[in-house]
């Protein structure tokens, strides 16, 4: 956790609503990482990219588009 504060690159944390990497835990990583963002994929577990592929891909694309605009 202490190392996350040293990250100064665009970072996206993404997890499923029912992920074993709990959204609350993932949110703590996101809060510890400057300028990062987070997406919780509804109705998805640990393999959110398989459970909700469109939502997952849209989240990653949106993140990458935001980076390109900066």
pLDDT digits (tens, 9 = 90+) for 18-57: 999 999 999 999 999 999 999 999 999 999 999 999 999 9
DSSP code for 19 = -
Q: How many domains does the chain have?
A: 1
d(CA 14, CA 47): 10
Question: Does 70 have pLDDT greater than 90?
Answer: no
Structure-token match 């040293």, residue found: 6
Q: Measured between alpha carbons, how far is residue 12 from residues 41, 57, 65 in Å?
A: 13, 12, 12
- Write out the residue range of the structural domain in which residue 22 sits: 2-69
How long is the chain? 70
């Amino acid at each position: 956790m202490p190392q996350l504060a040293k990250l100064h690159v665009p970072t996206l944390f993404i997890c499923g609503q029912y992920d074993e990497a709990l959204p609350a835990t993932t949110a703590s990583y996101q809060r510890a990482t400057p300028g990062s963002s987070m997406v919780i994929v509804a109705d998805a577990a640990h393999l959110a990219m398989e459970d909700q592929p469109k939502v997952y891909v849209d989240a990653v694309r949106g993140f990458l588009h935001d980076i390109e605009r900066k």
